[in-house]
A and B are shown apart, each in its own frame.
Chain A
Amino acid sequence: MTFNLGPARATLHSILAQFHFYITLLAVTLAWLAIMIAGIIVLRSYGSQNLELAAQLASYGAEPGLVFVDPEAIQEAVRPLLDNDGVARLRISDSAGKALMDAMSEKPDPSPRMTQLIMPAPAVASIYHNGISIGQVKVWADSSSIIAFARIGFLAGLGCLAITIVGTLILRRRLERDLIQPLSAMTDVVHDVRLHRRFDQRIKPVDIAELDRLGSDINALFDELHGWQGHIEDERALWTHRAMHDTLTSLPNRAAFDEQLTARIERAEKRSSSFALIFIDADNFKQANDAYGHMIGDQVLMVLAERIKSALRKDDFAARLGGDEFVIIFDPVSETAPIEDFVERLRKRIETPISLATHGLYSASVSIGMANYPKDGLAAEDILTAADAAMYADKFRHRNLKQGLGGFLE
């Protein structure tokens, strides 16, 4: 997985595989144990039956030998029984209890302890002749058949275990392919979405019903998140705009202007170029505002802003500093487009009478001051102060020339 999980954390894959392995191991071991126990029980019962039969057979075979007291005949009749698997010792005694034959199998008992554990007691059969007991046969078992079974059982158990391991590996691969890979792909997508905010990504359909449902739910969630993200971005853009713009005129505000001025100074410093700052202030606007109301004042300001905006060149920047103060960053200053021409054109444009719905035509008059970077100052404050001062100088000149500029034309 591509997730940055800690090394101590187990993966779903390993948990499932381990779980699978242990369950299978448990099942195989239990089945094997059950079969072994049942096998030993069955074998034990067969063994004791076998022993009984051997005893009966020995009793039948030894009977004439006992009747004729012929140990040789007894040996010949009974000896082959000792070659049978599971018969360890055969003892034939007469009615007085004395042994006429007591022979051991030539094959040694593979595990006397096992014999003691499983079939400690011999099978006993009486030898009858003419309805009278004339002797007794005792047959002892050995563990050869049990040991053979245990050996085969053990090997079979090992074989089953090997098959289990191989099967688990195959199942593990299937699990990997059918469950882990789709899940991994899903988590990759989710991770990528979270990391890069790419809400347009979608999880592909999966064959497993639960995972597919999870995937489609996540997709639906992505849809919603995508919608919200768009909304949030719009909101943010709006708020950013509001923070940096004047609500009345939609021009950049004081904060935006400060930022812009700093940036322009840095740029000019780097390029060793120059720019100009143009300070614009409406004459007698305060009086007009007081006399005719804020509605009218606002309309006038909006028109002024509109006219300033329309006069700008491509890289110029205009802002409303507040009240009736506007400022323009005239950048770049060049020989072919002198600032004086621009200011003249701007003044003419602004002083064109404004048509107001209720009060007829209003003729605005503005005072304009200019400052130059780097000539009039290197710091933003200095340039602004210089431009402000120039504007006031212009305002005084206006007052001296024509009294009461700016007013309604009757």
Chain B
Amino acid sequence: MRTALFYLAIFLPLAGTAPGARAQISYEASLAPADSPASPSSSSHTANRLIGGIISYARWPDNRAGSVKNLCVVGTPRFTHPVAPLLPGSRVRVQERRSSDVGNEPSCDVIFLGRMSIPDRQQLISWVRGKSVLTITDDDPACAYGAMFCLVQRATNIGFSVNLDAVGRSQMRVDPRVLRIGSEAGR
């Protein structure tokens, strides 16, 4: 069991971003302009930050998840290792599980789908459908396989897309502002 507590000043300004340019979410530039966008540490940070942001805007029915959320990592994450969401003010408990173990106690509030076999993924997605579980993947650039949020490598940085269909089928409530950002980013 790993507990991640972050008290980082995460929201540092974006330097050198042209105001008119169609900017994707860019952590690298803001955090360390000197770093290359592809540097593993910065992309990992960005991914964790995105994961934390998405979790913070998700609402579980009846507030089931409480203040401490269980995040289950299934498969191998591509952008970040370890998966450690940056979420100041909340606690996220991260556990690694196999796809077959997802249903075990303690139940997962969030499932992070890394790289895995297609049958496993299909099984997991169909299992999760209709439940109040938030799904995030980093292995679906088109965001078409059924996870609600997909971390996507853009031209210069990592962004996220929303699968509105998947969000609509789940019992989760997601802040429309986030949906809007995710939908627009995907276009």
Among B59-79, those with CB < 8 Å from A are none
- Tell me, in angstroms, the Cα distance from A77 to B177 when the chains sit together: 9
- Tell me, in angstroms, the Cα distance from A69 to B90 when the chains sit together: 19
Q: Is the CB of A94 within 8 A of B12?
A: yes
Among A50-93, those with CB < 8 Å from B are 60-61, 63-73, 75-77, 93
- Tell me, in angstroms, the Cα distance from A76 to B24 when the chains sit together: 13
Q: Is the CB of B181 within 8 A of A69?
A: no
In the complex, residue of chain B having the shortest beta-carbon distance to the beta carbon of A131: B89
Q: Mark A207-239, 1 if CB is under 8 A from B, else 0.
A: 000000000000000000000000000000000
- Chain B neighbourhood of A99, CB < 8 A: 13
- Chain B neighbourhood of A65, CB < 8 A: 181
Q: Is the CB of B14 within 8 A of A69?
A: yes
A20 to nearest B CB, angstroms? Answer: 64
- Tell me, in angstroms, the Cα distance from A376 to B159 when the chains sit together: 158
B88 to nearest A CB, angstroms? Answer: 5
- Chain A neighbourhood of B57, CB < 8 A: 64, 67
From B11, B90, B177, give the contact of A61 (CB < 8 A). B177
- Chain B neighbourhood of A135, CB < 8 A: 11
A-B contact count (CB 8 A): 76
Q: Is the CB of A64 within 8 A of B177?
A: yes
B17 on interface, CB distance cutoff 8 Å: yes
A96 on interface, CB distance cutoff 8 Å: yes
Given contacts A76-B184, A94-B11, A96-B13, contact A68 B25 (CB under 8 A): yes
From B19, B90, B181, give the contact of A70 (CB < 8 A). B181
B22 on interface, CB distance cutoff 8 Å: yes
B157 to nearest A CB, angstroms? Answer: 10
In the complex, residue of chain A having the shortest beta-carbon distance to the beta carbon of B56: A130
Q: Is the CB of A69 within 8 A of B9?
A: no
Q: Mark A87-108, 1 if CB is under 8 A from B, else 0.
A: 0000001111011100000000
Q: Is the CB of A72 within 8 A of B23?
A: yes
A392 to nearest B CB, angstroms? Answer: 149
- Tell me, in angstroms, the Cα distance from A75 to B19 when the chains sit together: 9
A129 to nearest B CB, angstroms? Answer: 6
In the complex, residue of chain B having the shortest beta-carbon distance to the beta carbon of A102: B19
A134 on interface, CB distance cutoff 8 Å: yes
Q: Mark B154-187, 1 if CB is under 8 A from A, else 0.
A: 0000001000000000000001011011001000
A141 to nearest B CB, angstroms? Answer: 23
A409 on interface, CB distance cutoff 8 Å: no
Among B1-27, those with CB < 8 Å from A are 9, 11-14, 17, 19, 22-27
Given contacts A130-B89, A130-B90, A131-B89, contact A64 B17 (CB under 8 A): no
Q: Mark B10-51, 1 if CB is under 8 A from A, else 0.
A: 011110010100111111001000000000000000000110
Q: Is the CB of A69 within 8 A of B56?
A: no
Max chain A C-beta neighbours (<10 A), residue from B27, B88, B160: B88
Among A116-140, those with CB < 8 Å from B are 129-132, 134-135
- Tell me, in angstroms, the Cα distance from A61 to B90 when the chains sit together: 21
A69 to nearest B CB, angstroms? Answer: 5
Given contacts A130-B88, A130-B89, contact A69 B11 (CB under 8 A): yes
18 new A-B contacts, CB < 8 A, other than A69-B30, A72-B24, A99-B13, are: A64-B178, A67-B11, A67-B56, A68-B178, A69-B11, A70-B25, A70-B181, A71-B14, A71-B23, A73-B184, A76-B184, A77-B177, A93-B13, A94-B12, A96-B13, A100-B14, A129-B56, A130-B90
Binding site for B on A (CB under 8 A): 60-61, 63-73, 75-77, 93-96, 98-100, 129-132, 134-135
Binding site for A on B (CB under 8 A): 9, 11-14, 17, 19, 22-27, 30, 49-50, 53, 56-57, 87-90, 160, 175, 177-178, 180-181, 184
